[in-house]
Structure 1
Amino acid sequence: MTIQAGHLMMVDLPGLTLDDDTAAHLTTHQIRAVCLFGKNVQDEEQLRRLCRDLREVMGEDALIAIDHEGGAILRTPFWPAPPSAMSLGATDDVALTREVSEALARQLRSVGINWNFAPIMDVNTQSANPVIGVRAFGADPALVTRHALAACAGQAEAGVASCVKHFPGHGDTHQDSHLALPRVDRARSELEATEFVPFRAAVGAGVPAVMTAHIIYSALDNEHPATLSRPVLTGLLRDEWGYDGVIVTDSMGMKAIDDHYGRGEAAVMSLAAGADLVMALGRREAQLATLTSVAAALQDGTFDPDDMERSVRRLSRLARQYPAQAQPDAQRSGDAALFAAAWRRGLVTVGDATPPAPGSRVTLIARQEEARTNVSEAGLPARALARALAPMYDLKVLDYQEATELDWKALREEGRFLLLATAGRHLQPGLTGATPDLHLCLYNAYSMLDVPAPALLSFGAQPEALEAVVEWLRGEVQVSATLPFPVDESRQARAT
């Protein structure tokens, strides 16, 4: 087998179609793996055509991947939106998680996508985590394990390969690896009790792929992030745990890598560390730099040839076990109802959360616009929520921007029911000292920790999540789910 650098690379595409230049690039370098993003998605037929063209160019070993986690991590607004992982964790019904995961995977399979970069196996123990949050099933390793494995099983049933991430865990970080190089200084014993639990179970279950984290774990390798660490990828995952599935890096264009290593250098380091596939996303120059460096390393003896052959075989096995061929989704008609019911079941109340009475005077306080943040899609603008609530109340809308300072004392003196809605990752500075009658946490569940008020948590701001919230406000939904992360007693007391 003559291994080419392109066999060990995944790239992204510039647009909605496979243009001649990009097709020639894939063919010339024998690249067999691509990752799709929102820039590549317009509608279902366009996406199906793009996947068909990619398979024709890349052949039967084609791997066409996407982030289709649910909640805010979706690239396909034309399909019903499945709930976020934390919504499912709050419900804690593994049968539901498997059913939802099978349905979202059928969506992908219907257009020819054969690899989903999900589920998240991070145990979100850090409430200030800027990038994981509700993407995780929760803060308990056992809960995360059972739901992530159920999600993998559901996707496999639909013919789509899972990829658990971000090994060995991104749940205890204060930094986003898109923007910085995080470091976790927990002892090995702590990692064994928390971060490792789901991933070790995933290895035992034979999950088809694992994605690495761009994080330094000092107990495992004090110098290099896991993505570039042979002690982590080979020593721990391959040798100690016996994993023989595909190891794929997270995007090498993230600042955790790009700001500290050259693209080519990092690619060579990751493959030498034990990765099978380097996610060389971004501009063409970065892809070419990666190709050049990996090709040189294949020639000069940097890599063990047997390791590289094993990597190519693993990738080929994955693609042939989960072929990138479109398959009609005969069960599509029931997905919208399934997802809507799942969003409803995931609602959680904190404290004495009570809806305002129908027809009462309500002031809705919500951000004017929630911007897109890294991997997540845009949040919920105030006007969209106002449209949903206007038929129910004598509604006044106060939409604020990031720098707005709100006078909560003056608002309370108006004698109206104060309904605060937050949908972003972080509570805005202008909300310091907020004292609403009810806090609707529509995306960042952890923002409820900063507001001493009763709260309703939906773990997402998709239209389906918003509809579940409105149904609760109308008194049509009985909440039975529970918070999948701990809240101290003082916070509970302030919310009551």
Structure 2
Amino acid sequence: MPIHAGQLLMVDLPGPVLDADSAQYLKEHHIGAVCLFGKNVQDERQLRALCRDLGAVLGEHALIAIDHEGGAIVRMKFWPVPPSAMSLGAADDVQLTRSVHAANARQLRSVGINWNFAPDMDVNVESANPVIGVRAFGEGVDLVTRHALAASEGLSSEAVAACVKHFPGHGDTHLDSHLALPRVDKPLSELEATEFAPFRAAAAAQVPAFMTAHIIYPALDSQHPATLSRAALTGLLRKEWQYEGVIITDSMGMRAIDDNYGRGPAAVQALAAGADMVMALGRREAQLATLESVSEALADGTLEAEQMTRSLERLHLLAQRFPATTHPDARLDTDAALYSEAWTRGLCTVRGAVPPPSGQPITVIAPREEARQNVSEAGLPARDLARRMHAHFEVELIEYDDPAHLDWPALSADLKAAGRLSVLATTGRHRQPALRAARPDLHLCLYNAYSVLDVDAPALVSFGAAPAALDAVMGWLRGEVQAGGTLPFTLE
């Protein structure tokens, strides 16, 4: 039976329903998998209908995927939000991590999603990493390995395929591969001891799937990013580590690939290097260009038939093991309590932070808005935080758009003279070097945990600002809960 290019590709859809044109497109090109994003999600009923329609079109080997990491990487706002990986790393209870990811899988399985692009297995050793941060469990190899494997087990236990990412490691980069092509210039011995170690354990455990990183590792391949590198995918992962599961690329629409290699040629190169499936996301014309390039490579033998047949077998086995069937009766009623417990157990204090006295006049200083960026959701608006705090404190709010415009010495002097406690909240995905001049009485670190390195002040770290995380923060501020987590990276 001939292999069709579309069977080796994953695409995305334009909206929340499977319209007739999209359905015909999927059928005509024998597309094997679909990745869902926020644009495809409205509510639970709609999402279940979409997945049911996709399953009918894609057939018995349907793979329906989504990024449901937790924290700021979620697409479904109608369910309780799971804790971020770093929150779980701070709690450091692998059974809790397993239970949380089993609950994540129940959510996905209830609507018919059978593949979760999680957990993140990066060892986040770069505090200025612009794209990983709290998506990782922490900076320790052992910590990341234990929790990522537990997360994978939790997902599999509830019939959803896990996909560890971003092989062979995105934790030591200064660039975001959505925007540029990063390099990790480390000797092989150092890579093996750090970045590679969790992924080597995942290969030994034969986790269901690996996602590749669009990053050049000169110690492996001086010319090609891992996604396009036969040395990385076939030499290291398949042959040396004996991994037999599915290898899927990260989105080929990311500029690390699109700007440097082109969608179609890169897709062919990724498949030839050892990937089983290419994420051909984005505009329909880009998807068609990828289909055309892969079809030509199949026809002229550039892509070896035996290798592509084996890839298709792996993809079919994945779909057989994790069927894309809806489970509308899945019990999700205990998930909210589990997530609340997990967010609370991840709370960390640094530099001796203590809650303010009840009734203490407080001035909250926070960014006005934090926009959504790439894969991550938007940060917490300043007014939403102030509104929550009003219930327990007399709160004044100072909103800012650019922290460089804040006159911290003058602000601190004025607040001290007025008898007001200064509470700085950081709510954005990226660190803000301009905050190094800040000296608040208390720092609420509600998104990028590494902001505690910029603000030299007592701090409460929540690793996220989901509703349950904010409930935990408010519980600590009221003196009702303890912050028992351990910061999973070095406080420089």
Superposition deviation, residue 428 in structure 1 = 3.4
Q: Which amino acid aligns with 1:411?
A: L
Structure 2 residue aligned with 1:282: 282
1:155 and 1:246 map into 2 onto residues whose CA distance is: 16
Distance (Å, rounded) in 1 between the aligned partners of 2:443 and 2:26: 50
Deviates more, 1:403-412 or 1:113-122: 403-412
Q: Quote the offset at 1:404 in angstroms.
A: 5.5
RMSD: 0.9
Distance in 1, Cα, partners of 2:245 & 2:99: 24
Alignment match, 1:60: 60
The share of aligned pairs that are identical, in percent, is: 68
Matched, 1:478 2:459: no
Kindly indicate whether the alpha-carbon contact (under 8 Å) linking 2:106 and 2:330 is maintained by their aligned counterparts in 1: no
Aligned: 1:240 with 2:256: no
2:454 alignment partner in structure 1: 450
1:316-375 per-residue CA deviation (whole Å, 9 max, x = no partner) reads: 000111000011354311110110011000000001101211111110001100110110
Report the 3-state secondary structure (helix = DSSP H, G, I; strand = E; otherwise coil) of the residue aligned with 2:266. helix
8 Å contact kept, 1:33–1:63: yes
Bigger Cα displacement from structure 2, 457-466 vs 478-487: 478-487
User: Which amino acid in structure 2 is aligned with residue 463 of structure 1?
Assistant: P
Deviation at 1:423, TM superposition (A): 1.2
Pair 1:424-2:428 in alignment = yes
Contact 1:405–1:431, Cα closer than 8 Å, also in 2: no
1:479-494, aligned counterparts within 5 Å? Answer: 479-488=483-492
Q: CA–CA distance in 2 between the matches of 1:358 and 1:330? A: 42
1:352 aligns with 2:356: no
Cα deviation, 1:434-486, whole Å, max 9, x if unaligned, reads 01001011010001101110110000011111110000000011122101111
Distance in 1 (CA, whole Å) between partners of 2:274 and 2:46 is 36
The residue type paired with residue 437 of structure 2 is G
In structure 2, what residue type is equivalent to 1:161?
Answer: A
Aligned to 1:377: 377
Q: What TM-score comes out, normalization by structure 2 length?
A: 0.98
Residues 180-221 of structure 1: CA distance to partner in whole angstroms, max 9, x if unpaired?
000001010001100111111111111010000000000000
| Pair 1:285–1:165, CA change in 2 (3 A) | same
For residues 78 and 479 of structure 2, what CA distance do their matches in structure 1 show?
29
Give the equivalent residue in structure 2 for 1:170: 170
Q: Quote the Cα distance in structure 2 between the aligned partners of 1:266 and 1:128.
A: 29
Do the aligned residues in 1 keep the contact of 2:433 with 2:454 (CA within 8 Å)?
no
- TM-score normalized with structure 1 length: 0.97
Kindly state the Cα deviation for residue 427 of structure 1 after the two structures are TM-superposed: 3.3
Alignment of 1:61-80 (within 5 A): 61-80=61-80
Q: Unpaired runs of 5+ in structure 1?
A: 489-496
Q: Give the equivalent residue in structure 2 for 1:255.
A: 255
Q: How has the CA–CA distance of structure 1 residues 484 and 229 changed in structure 2, closer, same or farther, with 3 Å as cutoff?
A: same
After superposition, where does 1:208-247 map in structure 2 within 5 Å? 208-247=208-247
Amino acid at match of 1:443: Y
Cα distance in 1 between the residues matched to 2:210 and 2:409: 51
Determine if contact 1:48/1:111 at 8 Å carries over to the other structure.
Answer: yes
- Mapped to 2, the partners of 1:391 and 1:231 lie a distance apart of 58
Amino acid at match of 2:488: P
Alpha-carbon distance in 2 for matches of 1:334, 1:303: 48
Cα distance in 1 for residues equivalent to 2:22 and 2:88:
39
Q: Deviations over 1:164-188 (max 9, x none)?
A: 0000000000000000000001010
Distance 1:404 1:485 in 2: 27
- Hey, what's the Cα distance between the residues in 1 that align with 2:24 and 2:430? 43
Distance 2:188 2:27 in 1: 44
Match of 1:97 in 2: 97
Q: Is the 8 A contact 2:166 2:211 kept in 1?
A: yes
Q: 2:438 aligns with which of 431, 434, 441?
A: 434
Structure 2 contact 379–429 (Cα < 8 Å) conserved = no
- Give 1:408 deviation, angstroms: 1.4
- Partner of 1:393 in structure 2? 393
Q: In the alignment, residue 19 of structure 1 is paired with which amino acid?
A: D
CA contact (8 A) 2:432 2:451 kept: no
3-state SS, counterpart of residue 17 of structure 2: coil
Q: Secondary structure at the match of 1:250?
A: strand
- Secondary structure class of the residue paired with 1:110: helix
> What letter corresponds to residue 257 of structure 1 in structure 2?
I
- Quick one: which amino acid aligns to residue 394 of structure 1? E
Q: CA deviation at 1:304?
A: 1.5
1:91–1:481 CA contact under 8 A, matched in 2:
yes
1:460 to 452, 464, 468: 464
Separation in 2, partners of 1:211, 1:391:
44
Report the Cα distance in structure 1 between the residues aligned to 2:471 and 2:373, rounded to whole angstroms.
23
CA shift at 1:153, angstroms? Answer: 0.6
Equivalent residues in 2 for 1:178-193, closer than 5 Å:
178-193=178-193
- Cα displacement (A) at 1:403: 6.1
DSSP 3-state at the match of 1:299: helix
Specify the code of the residue in structure 1 equivalent to 2:213: A
* C-alpha separation in 1, matches of 2:332 and 2:224: 45
SS in 2 for 1:183: coil
- 1:405 alignment partner in structure 2: 405
Quick one: which amino acid aligns to residue 193 of structure 1? A
Question: In the alignment, what sits opposite 1:491?
Answer: none
* 1:113 alignment counterpart: 113
How is 1:326-341 mapped onto 2 (pairs within 5 angstroms)?
A: 326-341=326-341
- Cα deviation 1:93-126 (Å, max 9, x = unaligned): 0000000000011000000000000000000000
What is the CA–CA distance in structure 1 between the aligned matches of 2:444 and 2:217, rounded to whole Å? 36
Where does 1:195-206 land on structure 2 (aligned, <5 Å)?
A: 195-206=195-206
Query: How many angstroms apart in 2 are the aligned matches of 1:257 and 1:193?
Result: 27
Distance 2:311 2:287 in 1: 19
- Distance apart, 1:429 and its partner CA: 5.4
Corresponding letter in the other structure for 1:36: L
Q: Aligned pair in 2 of structure 1 residues 144, 403: CA closer, same or farther (>3 Å)?
A: closer
Q: Counterpart in 2 of 1:492?
A: none
- Give distance in 2, aligned partners of 1:402 and 1:107: 38
In the alignment, the residues of structure 2 paired with residue 431 and residue 403 of structure 1 have an alpha-carbon distance, to the nearest angstrom, of 6
Q: Secondary structure at the match of 2:317?
A: helix
- The count of corresponding residues between Structure 1 and Structure 2 is 488
The one-letter code sitting in structure 2 at the alignment partner of 1:474 is R
Q: Which deviations, in whole Å up to 9, do the C-alpha atoms of 1:378-432 show, x marking residues without a partner?
A: 1100011011001211211001113651111222222210000001122335534
Q: Deviations over 1:287-332 (max 9, x none)?
A: 0000000000001110121100000000000011100001135431
CA distance in 2: counterparts of 1:402 and 1:21, whole angstroms: 45
